């Protein structure tokens, strides 16, 4: 009795019923987030693990570097692998420079008028168009109208059209992240817009630009529909070991369409084959994305303000 008010059980510094309640809700929130993360990560691990388990037995250097044989039931995936490299490479050579320059124009030069707004709106919407629509456009515009025929060029152009809006959008975002005060400081000392862009804006947004471009590489590598109509073939033998075995006007095989063909068109193909192809494709995509992450973190480490 007559206990002094401060003789309660020793509380941690600053602890009150209110903060205890806050800590409890903090714990609950953390648990919910952990469950969410698990929902994302576990299926990913399961998928990759399953692919590795089923397909690993077939993977070898020989598998990667020899043509498919015996009606694509045996042999390797050389012509498909090289085809994918060509498609990705050529489409990137088209979409990256044009996309980046377009973004520079839109973000740095274009006046804010109705025309610019329409273009920006178009870019956003084009980025969301399903790839099969791009495929039909590519078929009409490049294969038929421009008389390119089904070829690596036509397929790459289709892929380029598909990735360009996304590259424009991501590049614009990277450019906009450079504070305006830097630009104003440059203009104040008599620098032209281009000098400002070249010396200040681009060097400080390059990590974001590169990341955006590289992420499109992995997307391009996995696309099936756009190339099926415009340049991919069911089967083709090419010279093994020669990186230039394809010509830009040739049709080519590609990993994604090859996987599709093996699974749906080839009877009696070994189970492991499709898994092995999928594994290679996945490996490529993961490799490319890791590169993007590395470049990003390296350039981030050199962030200058």
Partner 1 sequence: MVKPKVQVENLRLSYGPREVIHGISFDIEPNEILGIIGPAQSGKTSLLRCINRTIEFTVGAKPSGTIRVDGEDISEMRNVYELRRRVGMVAPLPVGLPLSIYDNVAFAPRAAGMKKKGELDTLVEKCLTQSALWDEVKDRLDSLGTKLSGGQQQRLTIARALSHSPEILCLDEFSIAIDPVTTMRIEDVLKVLKKEVTIILVTNLVQQARRLAARTMFLWNGEIIELGPTEQLFGDKPKDKRTYDYVNGIFG
Instruction: Name which of 110 and 285 has its Cβ closer to partner 1.
Output: 110
DSSP reduced 3-state for 249: coil
CB of 118 to partner 1, least distance (A): 17
CB of 305 to partner 1, least distance (A): 4
Instruction: Name which of 241 and 301 has its Cβ closer to partner 1.
Output: 301
Q: Scan for tokens 């920006």, then name that residue.
A: 120
Question: Binding of partner 1 at residue 305 (CB under 8 A)?
Answer: yes
State how far the Cα of 32 lies from the Cα of 36, in Å rounded to an integer. Answer: 6
State how far the Cα of 20 lies from the Cα of 69, in Å rounded to an integer. Answer: 69
Instruction: Give the footprint of partner 1 on residues 91-120 (CB under 8 A).
Output: 111-112
State how far the Cα of 244 lies from the Cα of 45, in Å rounded to an integer. Answer: 36
In a 10 Å sphere around its CB, with 0-12 CB exposed, 13-18 middle and 19+ buried, how is residue 200 labelled? middle
Six token digits for residue 219: 């997307």
The contact pattern for partner 1, residues 172-201, with x = CB under 8 A and - = no contact, is ---------xx-xxxxxxxxx--x---xx-
Reported residue count of the chain is 305
Question: Binding of partner 1 at residue 23 (CB under 8 A)?
Answer: no
CB of 70 to partner 1, least distance (A): 59
Number of residues forming the site for partner 1 (CB under 8 A): 20
The contact pattern for partner 1, residues 124-163, with x = CB under 8 A and - = no contact, is ----------------------------------------
DSSP reduced 3-state for 48: helix
Q: Scan for tokens 């990186």, then name that residue.
A: 243
Instruction: Name which of 146 and 185 has its Cβ closer to partner 1.
Output: 185
CB atoms within 10 A of CB 133: 13
Instruction: Name which of 181 and 264 has its Cβ closer to partner 1.
Output: 181
Out of 67, 158, 204, 216, name the contact with partner 1 by CB under 8 A.
204
Q: Which residues pair with 74 in a beta bridge?
A: 69
Instruction: Name which of 18 and 305 has its Cβ closer to partner 1.
Output: 305
DSSP reduced 3-state for 69: strand
Residues at the site binding partner 1, with contacts judged by CB under 8 A:
111-112, 181-182, 184-192, 195, 199-200, 203-204, 304-305
């Amino acid at each position: 009795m007559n206990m002094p008010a401060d003789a309660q059980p020793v509380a941690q510094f600053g602890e009150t019923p209110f903060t205890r309640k806050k800590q409890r809700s903090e714990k609950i929130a953390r648990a919910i987030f952990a469950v969410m993360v698990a929902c994302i990560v576990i299926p990913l691990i399961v998928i990759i693990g399953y692919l590795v388990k089923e397909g690993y037995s077939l993977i070898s250097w020989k598998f990667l570097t020899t043509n498919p044989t015996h009606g694509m039931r045996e042999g390797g995936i050389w012509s498909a692998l090289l085809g994918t490299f060509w498609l990705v490479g050529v489409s990137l050579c088209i979409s990256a420079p044009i996309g980046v320059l377009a973004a520079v124009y839109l973000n740095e030069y274009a006046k804010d008028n109705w025309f610019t707004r329409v273009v920006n709106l178009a870019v956003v919407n084009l980025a969301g168009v399903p790839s099969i629509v791009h495929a039909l456009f590519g078929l009409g515009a490049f294969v038929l109208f421009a008389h390119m025929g089904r070829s690596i060029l036509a397929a790459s152009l289709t892929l380029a059209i598909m990735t360009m809006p996304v590259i424009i959008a991501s590049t614009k975002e990277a450019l906009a992240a450079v504070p305006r005060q830097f630009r104003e400081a440059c203009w104040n000392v008599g620098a032209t817009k281009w000098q400002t862009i070249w010396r200040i804006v681009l060097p400080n947004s390059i990590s974001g630009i590169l990341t955006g471009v590289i992420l499109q590489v992995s997307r391009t590598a996995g696309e099936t529909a756009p190339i099926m109509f415009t340049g991919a073939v069911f089967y083709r033998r090419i010279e093994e070991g020669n990186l230039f075995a394809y010509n830009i006007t040739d049709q080519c095989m590609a990993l994604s369409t090859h996987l599709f063909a093996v699974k749906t068109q080839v009877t009696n193909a070994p189970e492991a084959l499709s898994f092995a192809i999928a594994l290679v494709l996945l490996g490529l995509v993961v490799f490319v994305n890791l590169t993007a992450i590395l470049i990003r973190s390296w350039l981030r480490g050199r962030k200058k303000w």
